[in-house]
Amino acid sequence: EVQLVESGGGLVQPGGSLRLSCAASGFTFSDHYMDWVRQAPGKGLEWVGRIRNRANLYTTQYAASVTGRFTISRDDSSNSLYLHMNSLKTEDTAVYYCSRGYNFGYPLFDYWGQGTLVTVSS
């Protein structure tokens, strides 16, 4: 059974940093791209960024709203995905979801974690 479990959310002051984790199981993690998507309270879904797999050199892409502040990394040896968030702003307050991304023959975004809430407030 595919499972994605996020952790690391919490309350942080503006300008602060936080690292989110996503533990994956039930599939060959190293074969898939992985994505982060967020949802501000009462709002819609916003794609944050993605990290490709080893075959694609672990390259990353980001939404303009987080470029230069957020970094996505992964550890295939432990089936873990990370979102490093710096210079946090109040508008980064959201539930952050990890989602299974591209791999040939599989639908994108077919599995999502339960989400972890990040609150940026003084």
Partner 1 sequence: DIQMTQSPSSLSASVGDRVTITCQASQDITNYLNWYQQKAGEAPKLLIYDVSNFGTGVPSRFSGSGSGTDFTFTISSLQPEDVATYYCQQYDSVPITFGQGTRLHIK
Q: Give me the residues that bind partner 1 (CB under 8 A), please.
A: 35, 37, 44-47, 50, 61, 63-64, 97, 107-115
CB atoms within 10 A of CB 23: 16
90 φ, ψ (degrees, to nearest 5) = -60, -35
In the complex with partner 1, the residue whose CB is nearer, 17 or 94, is 94
In the complex with partner 1, the residue whose CB is nearer, 4 or 120, is 4
In the complex with partner 1, the residue whose CB is nearer, 59 or 121, is 59
In the complex with partner 1, the residue whose CB is nearer, 18 or 35, is 35
- Minimum separation from the CB atom of position 122 to partner 1 (A): 27
For residue 112, give both structure tokens: 């999502």
8 Å CB contact between 48 and 38: yes
Q: Sign of the CA dihedral 7, 10, 63, 15?
A: negative
Enumerate the β-bridge partners of residue 82: 21, 73
- Minimum separation from the CB atom of position 20 to partner 1 (A): 15
- Minimum separation from the CB atom of position 63 to partner 1 (A): 5
